[in-house]
């Protein structure tokens, strides 16, 4: 970082030095300073496409989604075949809940770079979120073919398959996700749900407990474990898990009601 500051002392109007300094500041999570340096780079060089793109990333990390979208659209106007800008705009639009537009941007990114596994994975996620499970599964499989070690793609494919009712295939994907990321509490919880849907409460309970071990503050995992334990007739342990879930999320009416319903359960 020092060399960039030294360069700017010699040439304050050197846009690339402002851009490089911004990247270094962003890497250290000094978002406000990074944004200021990106803006200065763009004041000096308004057509600096990478600066528009990286400013957008910093703005998104600062929760300024409208500003991020504006910068990415400017980057795309200046360089329509820049796949990263289309991909990043897709992410911002997904954050904003505009799934149709996000899907369009991911498609454009993939037209430019068909081998972008992350774009295919994010397209699959957006398609699943929009309810298009058939095409979501196709894109997530494409992402995994391009990058087999993407744990999140396996997890999202598992979720899409579970939403279609194919729990055996979902279980296989969750297991692959966990091979790649063993401490992923969400994958453990989702695997437990798939086992539960398949009627295998023993394995479901095991996965819920593993999810809680990875992330003790996961209220949903505590509640899911409580439900599975209640179905096995273990009311006392179920009550304990419902109390834990309600304590972690006191505003959740379902957790609170289940905790109250089994409040009188006692260990035998």
In the structure, what pLDDT confidence band is assigned to residue 16 with cuts at 50, 70 and 90? confident
Q: Answer yes or no: are the C-beta atoms of 151 and 180 closer than 8 Å.
A: yes
| Greatest alpha-carbon span in the chain | 79
- Catalogue the long-range contacts made by 23-27 (C-beta closer than 8 Å, 24 or more residues apart): 23/54, 25/1, 26/54, 26/57, 26/58, 26/61
In the structure, what pLDDT confidence band is assigned to residue 5 with cuts at 50, 70 and 90? low
Q: Is 5 exposed, middle or buried (0-12, 13-18, 19+ CB in 10 A)?
A: exposed
- In the chain, % of residues over pLDDT 70: 95
The yes-or-no verdict on residue 238 having pLDDT over 80 is: yes
| Choice among 3-17, 75-89, 110-124, 247-261 with the minimum mean pLDDT | 3-17
The yes-or-no verdict on residue 9 having pLDDT over 70 is: no
- Ordered by where they begin, the domains of the chain are 1-114 (1.25.40.10), 198-268 (1.25.40.10)
């Amino acid at each position: 970082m020092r060399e960039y500051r030294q360069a700017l002392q010699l040439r304050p109007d050197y846009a690339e030095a402002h851009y490089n300094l911004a990247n270094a500041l962003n890497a250290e999570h000094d978002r406000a300073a990074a944004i200021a340096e990106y803006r200065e780079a763009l004041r000096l060089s308004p057509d600096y496409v990478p600066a528009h793109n990286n400013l957008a990333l910093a703005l998104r990390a600062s929760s300024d989604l409208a500003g991020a979208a504006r910068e990415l659209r400017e980057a795309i106007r200046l360089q329509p075949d820049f796949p990263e800008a289309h991909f990043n705009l897709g992410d911002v639009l997904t954050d904003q809940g505009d799934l149709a537009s996000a899907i369009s941007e991911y498609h454009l990114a993939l037209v430019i770079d068909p081998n972008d596994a992350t774009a295919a994975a994010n397209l699959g996620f957006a398609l699943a979120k929009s309810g298009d499970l058939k095409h979501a599964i196709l894109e997530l499989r494409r992402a995994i073919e391009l990058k087999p070690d993407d744990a999140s793609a396996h997890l999202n494919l598992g979720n899409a398959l579970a939403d279609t009712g194919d729990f055996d295939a979902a279980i296989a994907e969750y297991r692959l996700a966990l091979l790649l990321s063993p401490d992923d509490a969400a994958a453990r919880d989702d695997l437990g749900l798939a086992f539960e849907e398949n009627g295998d409460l023993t394995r479901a309970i095991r996965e819920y407990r593993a999810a809680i071990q990875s992330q003790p503050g996961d209220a949903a995992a505590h509640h899911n474990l409580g439900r599975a334990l209640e179905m096995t007739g273990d009311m006392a342990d179920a009550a304990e898990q419902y109390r834990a879930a309600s304590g972690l999320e006191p505003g959740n009416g379902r957790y609170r009601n289940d905790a109250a319903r089994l409040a009188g359960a006692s260990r035998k």
